[in-house]
Structures are given as C-alpha cells and as structure tokens.
C-alpha cells in the first residue's frame, strides 16, 4: 500500500445533489443519465466523472462525440471546460491544454497522437479527442478507452455504432472499471420532434441489484474518506494508517461491483430544486406550458401524437445530415478563430440566388433556402429576440452569407410586414435595408427583392392543405423538400412540435383547421426559437409562393367533382 503522509489530503469535499452523489458512489462503467433542465449534466456530471476517468486511466486516449463538430466546438466542449475550470478548479496550461502540443511537464498517451488540433491534452498524459456523427468515419481506426456524449437525443444510433468499435482493448487499463466505458447524458427525447430515443432502450442493460451493491460500497468508501480527512486534519497517524488499509479493502470490493456495470436513470429538474429554487420551477411552468414543462423539466414523455401534428407528412426523409464541410470546419481546431459562414455548406450553389421567408414580431425569424432543380433546400435559419431587431438580423445574414457570389435575395413574408407603411414603419423594407446597407451606411452588395407586396392573407387551413401535399409528396408539380437538420435546428423543432387545433363554428356547426400558436404568447423569449411556431411561419411564407400555391388550388378544384360523386 502506498504511504500517504499526514499532509497529503487524498480526499476532497464536494457539493452535489442526491442524484450526483448517487452517480459518484456507483461510478459505473456505462452511465446513461436522462435529466431535466438545470441538472448541470455537462458542467457538473460529465466534468466530474471525466476527471475520475482521467485519474483512473492516466495516459489513455478518450473521446467526446457530438451530433456535429460545430455543436461540439461551440457548445459541448466549452461547457465541459467551464465545469473543469469553474467547479473543479482546473486551470488551462496547468491541468490541460487545447489544440496544442502539451508542455514538457505533461505526460503523453501510450498511443501517440499525430496531431494535437481538436484535442484536449491533460497533465497526466490523457488525450481527449473530438469526434462528430456528421463525419463518423473520422474516428475509424483509432483506439480509445472511454467515450463521452452529451445531448444524446440528437445522436443517430446507426452513426454512433460506426464509432463504437474505436473502444478497443489495451491491457494497460484493464484494471479500471471505466475501461472501454461510455458516459451518455441528455434530457428526455421527444419523439414528436424527431429526437432519437434509443437511450431509453438501454435500461434493460442495467443490473439493478449490482447497482445497489455498488452504491452501498460507495457510501462505505465515502465514510472512510471522511474519516481519513478528519485523521489528516487532527494529525492522527495511527488512525490514518488503519483507515487507509480499510480503504484499500473496500476499494477492491467497489471495483468488482462496478466491472461492466451499466447505470440507467431518469430524473426531473426537481432533484436540483435547492439550487434552482421554487421560483425557477414555477417560472418554467408558466413560460413553457404544461406539455413542454412535463417533457423538459419533469422528464415525462410528451403526448403529441402524429394525428395531433399540424405538419402531417413531415418525416425524417425531409432532413439531411451531411450539410457541413467538416474538413473546412475542423481545420480551425477547438480554439481557432472559427466563424460559421456559408462557405462550410455542402449543398449550396454560391452562383445562384437565395430565397428567404420572414416572420415578424418580438422574435424575427428568417429561413433561407434555394431552389435546386426538382429539389428545394432550406439551408439556414436565423432569428433575433427583442431587444434585437431588424439591424441585428441583417448583420447575421450578411455575415453568414458573406462568401456567397450571387448576392440576390428574394424575400417572402406576411403582408403585415408592409402594414405599418402609413406609420412610417415598413417592417419588410426595414429588414431588406438592413441587409443591403450596413451599420456604417455602406452598401453590402446584396439586392433584396420584396416578393410579397399586396399578397392575400394566407389562412391556416390553406397552409395545412398546401403543406400536406408538399410533405407527403403526392403532387409531382411541387418540389422535393430537404431541410438541413443542423443548420435549421430551430426550424426543425418548430415544424415538429406544431399542433393542429380544430375550431367549431357555433352557427354552422362546421370545424376549421388551425395551427395552435399559443406558445408564441406563453413562452419566455429564450424558449421561443426551439419551442414555438414562429420559425414555422417564416417557413410558410418561404414555401407558399403563388407559383406553388396555385398548383395546389388547381388540383383541389379538379379532384372535388370526383370526390362528390363517390
């Protein structure tokens, strides 16, 4: 047994919810955590667990996988680093470095790393590689000892299975319960929004009795660690030596309990109510509405069935996942000065004009698309939330599409975009001006054509009929719709969660079809992009141009006599 002096504090004090403590005590090989909002899944759970894995397998190779490299670079890895830095006390340059060869004081992995770009290197020789499911082949041929993934509900299982063989054997680490293990976290998958729910099926992999044993042994070890802390504090050397022998015995038992163990758990945000406060919970209920609140906070499955959807016919084949040129994005590394732009889009014709659908309000929504032969692609969605407005939206568009060569934008919108002309506010022209002219008054080179002057109102029952034909593909005269599921993530969520609502006319007894837009009024501002119908309205204006709506109207007129005679 390694000797530990009275000055060496081999234990540390931590605050954690009972869920976090349970995960720490069980410390399984495979963790499957489904938790509500505010449960700090990345900054606390993954950050803490990754440190345990790093210490248990020094000089190993590990990997963090995300649905896209862009998401990993801009959201996931920064949250992990924040957890290390803010909550665990790790310092860049002392405990880890990013995108660079580690200093001479750092150990190196047993398996050499050929390039340190897109890699986090830790002082004890651990290398953490960055991978993405939009280019799973990039991790083929490597050998890693532990795999992490957050927001697993966005991870396609078939693509993840391409990466899993990288968890290869290496006898240097066979002692560790974390060896060839995985750490996957997410909030509850929403099938109505097209999330991947395969993580729910992993519950069957859990041996509940073994998890209980690991928990009991973990608590025993924790009590021993607390006594060790006190023995060090009061310089009781005899007691410390006895406790260290006891710790060694219980550690061996803990390792046996945890070998090849899977722990699956679903928990609501209520588990962290001491930190979030009751006010947060009530605010979430008021702002999200009951259905989203049940899903996102209480981790209870949503109830939106296919028959409740406004955009009936919307399916996985309408979304594509290969929209990003990963070679271009990865060339910047994790810390490089990467600024997303249209140059990274695989399926854009830079020499052709662009279209945009716009919806106005406290959230201004912009969906940018391009007609490409028989196909119509939605390439990017942008939005602003008050106090941002037209100026900020124009800046976002011009910045992202700066590399585009044909700087002509055909803009479609609701006629309300022009209704303020008499009050000296023409909202549609305002957005167009902010795209054509920058903040300094200089022309950007863009020409915006306003396509919806004097157009008639598009009623919701007309939208329902049009979208049904468009999405079901029954009308060959309409385009084949394709949406970038990553660059139009908010649009995807808006379309998938939109509910159908029937209204009865008390005079005639007839029912009319409507889109339930209550969430636009009840949600808080930051919840609008992913959980409201705003972007679906911008999409409506983009697609329901006269050329295509006239086709649907003619078909409807032609088929009505045959239906009447049936």
pLDDT, residue 411, reads 96
Tell me whether strands 354-359 and 511-515 are parallel, antiparallel or unpaired. Answer: unpaired
Closest among 499, 471, 481 to 306, alpha carbons compared: 499
The CA distance from 296 to 290, in Å, is 10
Q: Which residue has the tokens 């941002």?
A: 388
Contact between 460 and 514 under an 8 Å Cβ cutoff? The reply is: yes
Secondary structure of residue 410 in the 3-state scheme: strand
Distances (CA, A) of 60 to 56, 110, 143, 256, 492: 9, 7, 9, 21, 38
Q: Smallest Cα–Cα separation from 297: which of 190, 149, 154?
A: 190
Report d(CA 212, CA 411) in Å as an integer.
60
Evaluate if residue 22 carries a pLDDT over 50: yes
Query: Which two tokens mark 528?
Result: 């609008």
Span 271-288, average pLDDT: 78
- The per-residue pLDDT for 421 is 45
- pLDDT top residue among 276 and 50: 50
Does residue 558 have a pLDDT over 60? no
Domain boundaries, the chain: 18-207+261-271, 307-388+451-559
Q: Which CATH architecture has domain 18-207+261-271?
A: 3-Layer(aba) Sandwich (3.40)
Q: Could you read off the pLDDT of 407-418 as tens digits, one per residue?
A: 999 999 986 544
Confidence of residue 305 (pLDDT cuts 50, 70, 90): low
Pairwise CA distance, residues 485 & 494, whole Å: 12
pLDDT digits (tens, 9 = 90+) for 344-398: 999 999 999 999 999 998 899 999 999 999 999 999 999 999 999 999 999 999 9
Greatest CA span in the chain, whole angstroms? 98
pLDDT digits (tens, 9 = 90+) for 96-154: 999 999 999 999 999 988 888 889 999 999 999 988 887 766 676 788 999 999 999 98
Region 268-289: mean pLDDT is 79
- The pLDDT value given to residue 63: 93
Tell me how far apart the alpha carbons of residues 270 and 16 are, in angstroms, rounded to a whole number.
14
Q: How confident is the model at residue 308 (pLDDT cuts 50, 70, 90)?
A: confident
Residue-wise pLDDT tens digits, 490-512: 999 899 888 888 776 555 556 67
Percent of the chain's residues with pLDDT above 70: 88
Of 544, 549, 528, the residue nearest 414 (C-alpha) = 544
> According to the model, what pLDDT value does residue 560 have?
36
pLDDT at 554: 66
Q: What is the pLDDT of residue 454?
A: 66
Task: Identify the CA nearest to 443 among candidates 433, 428, 452.
Answer: 433
3-state DSSP assignment of residue 565: coil
Q: Could you tell me which CATH number the domain at 307-388+451-559 has?
A: 3.30.420
Residue-averaged pLDDT of the chain: 86
Which pLDDT value is given to residue 417?
47
Instruction: Determine the Cα–Cα distance for residues 551 and 74; give it in Å rounded to an integer.
Output: 42
Residue 3's pLDDT band, with cuts at 50, 70 and 90, is very low
> Do the domains spanning 18-207+261-271 and 307-388+451-559 agree at the CATH topology level?
no
Nearest to 479 by CA among 356, 355, 348, 377: 377
3 state SS of 184: strand
Closest C-alpha to 495, from 549, 525, 463, 539 = 539
Q: What is the pLDDT of residue 2?
A: 41
On the question of pLDDT at 255 being above 90, the answer is yes
Check residues 509 and 515 and name the one with the higher pLDDT: 515
Phi then psi for 356, rounded to 5 degrees?
-150, 140
- Whole-prediction pTM value? 0.74
Region 53-80 average pLDDT = 89
E strand spans, 49-190 = 61-66, 96-98, 119-122, 127-132, 146-149, 181-186
Residue located via tokens 């890693």: 144
| H helix or E strand, kind and range, residue 319 | strand 319-320
pLDDT confidence of 59, banded at 50, 70, 90? very high
Q: Which helix (H) or strand (E) holds 385?
A: strand 375-385
**What pLDDT is recorded for position 333?**
78
The answer to whether residue 69 scores a pLDDT higher than 50 is: yes
Residues 6+ apart with CB under 8 A from 317: none
User: Among the listed ranges 249-263, 345-359, 442-456, 536-550, which one has the minimum average pLDDT value?
Assistant: 442-456
pLDDT for 203 beyond 70 = yes
Q: Which of 87, 110, 113 is nearest to 173 (CA)?
A: 110
Average pLDDT over residues 395-406: 96
* 250 has pLDDT over 60: yes
pLDDT tens, residue by residue, 158-182: 889 888 888 887 888 989 999 999 9
State what percent of residues in the chain have pLDDT above 90. Answer: 51
């Amino acid at each position: 047994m390694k000797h530990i002096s009275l000055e060496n504090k081999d234990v540390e004090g931590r605050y954690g919810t009972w869920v976090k403590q349970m995960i720490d005590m069980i410390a399984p090989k495979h963790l499957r955590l489904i938790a509500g909002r505010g449960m700090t899944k990345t900054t606390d759970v993954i950050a803490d667990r990754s440190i345990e894995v790093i210490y248990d397998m020094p000089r190993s190779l590990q990997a963090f996988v995300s649905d896209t490299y862009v998401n990993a670079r801009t959201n996931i890895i920064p949250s992990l680093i924040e957890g290390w830095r803010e909550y665990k006390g790790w310092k860049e340059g002392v405990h880890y470095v990013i995108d660079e060869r580690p200093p001479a004081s750092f150990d190196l992995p047993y398996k050499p790393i050929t390039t340190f770009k897109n890699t986090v290197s830790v002082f004890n020789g651990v290398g953490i590689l960055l991978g993405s499911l939009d280019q799973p082949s990039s991790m083929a041929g490597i050998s890693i000892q532990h795999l992490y993934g957050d927001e697993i509900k966005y991870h396609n299982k078939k693509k993840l299975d391409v990466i899993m063989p990288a968890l290869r054997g290496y006898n240097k680490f066979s002692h560790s319960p974390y060896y060839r293990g995985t750490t996957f976290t997410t909030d509850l998958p929403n099938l109505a929004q097209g999330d991947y729910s395969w993580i729910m099926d992993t519950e069957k992999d859990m041996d509940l009795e073994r998890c209980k044993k690991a928990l009991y042994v973990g608590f025993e070890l924790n009590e021993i660690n607390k006594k060790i802390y006190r023995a060090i504090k009061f310089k009781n050397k005899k007691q410390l030596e006895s406790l260290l022998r006891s710790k060694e015995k219980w550690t061996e038992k803990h390792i046996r309990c945890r070998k090849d163990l899977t722990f699956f758990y679903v928990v609501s945000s209520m588990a962290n109510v001491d930190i979030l406060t009751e006010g947060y919970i009530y605010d979430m209920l008021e702002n999200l509405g009951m259905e989203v609140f049940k899903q996102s906070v209480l981790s209870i499955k949503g109830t939106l069935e296919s028959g409740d959807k406004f955009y009936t016919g919307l399916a996985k084949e309408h979304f594509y996942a290969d929209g990003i040129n990963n070679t271009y994005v990865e060339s910047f590394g994790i810390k490089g000065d990467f600024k997303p732009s249209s140059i990274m889009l695989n399926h854009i014709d830079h020499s052709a004009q662009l279209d945009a659908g716009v919806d106005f309000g406290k959230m201004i929504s912009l969906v940018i698309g391009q007609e490409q032969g028989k196909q119509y692609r939605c390439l990017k969605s942008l939005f602003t939330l008050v106090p941002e407005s037209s100026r900020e939206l124009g800046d976002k568009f011009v910045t992202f599409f700066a590399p585009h060569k044909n700087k002509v934008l055909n803009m479609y919108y609701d006629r309300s975009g022009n209704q303020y002309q008499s009050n000296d506010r023409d909202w549609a022209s305002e957005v167009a001006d902010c795209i054509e002219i920058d903040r300094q008054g200089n022309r950007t080179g863009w020409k915006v054509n306003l396509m919806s002057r004097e157009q008639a109102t598009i009623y919701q029952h007309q939208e329902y009929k049009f979208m049904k034909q468009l999405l079901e593909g029954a009308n060959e005269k309409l385009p084949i719709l394709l949406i970038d599921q990553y660059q139009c993530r908010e649009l995807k969520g808006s379309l998938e969660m939109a509910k159908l609502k029937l209204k009865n006319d008390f005079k005639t007894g007839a029912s009319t079809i409507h889109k339930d837009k209550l969430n636009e009024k009840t949600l808080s501002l930051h919840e609008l992009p992913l959980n409201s119908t705003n972007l679906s309205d911008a999409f409506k204006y983009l697609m329901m141009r006269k050329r295509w709506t006239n086709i649907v109207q003619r078909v409807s007129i032609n088929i009505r006599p045959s239906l009447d005679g049936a």
